[in-house]
């Protein structure tokens, strides 16, 4: 973390940084897996925002499309 190597699953991008504290992985009614986490919005850096991204799986290891915080995505069905 001291060397900023903490971004393993979800990396920052031009809009969101400080992605982390992956707090919950949930499955929706369609069987898709989602991850909730926080990030800092560089357009309004006065705190963290709650983020939600769909998880994909490869060889039983999770990843987020593009390995970065999403700017827009589909939403879960609960």
Report how far Cα 19 is from the mean position of its chain's Cα atoms.
7
pLDDT in tens, 23-41: 789 999 999 999 998 889 9
What CA–CA distance (Å, rounded) separates 43 from 37?
A: 18
Q: Please report the pLDDT score of residue 45 as a whole number.
A: 86
pLDDT for 5 beyond 80: no
Contact 39, 17 (CB under 8 A): yes
Quote the percentage of the chain above a pLDDT of 90: 31
**b/e burial code for range 4-40 (CB count within 10 A of at least 16 → b):** eeebebbebbeebbbbbebeeeeeeeeeeebbebbbb
pTM for this one?
0.78
């Amino acid at each position: 973390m001291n060397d900023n190597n903490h971004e393993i699953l979800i990396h920052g991008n031009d809009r969101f940084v400080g992605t982390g504290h992956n707090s919950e992985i949930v499955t929706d009614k369609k069987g898709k897996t989602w991850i909730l986490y926080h990030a800092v919005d560089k357009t309004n850096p006065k705190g963290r925002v709650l983020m939600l991204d769909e998880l994909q799986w490869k060889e039983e290891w999770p990843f987020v499309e593009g390995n970065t915080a999403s700017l827009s995505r589909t939403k879960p069905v609960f």
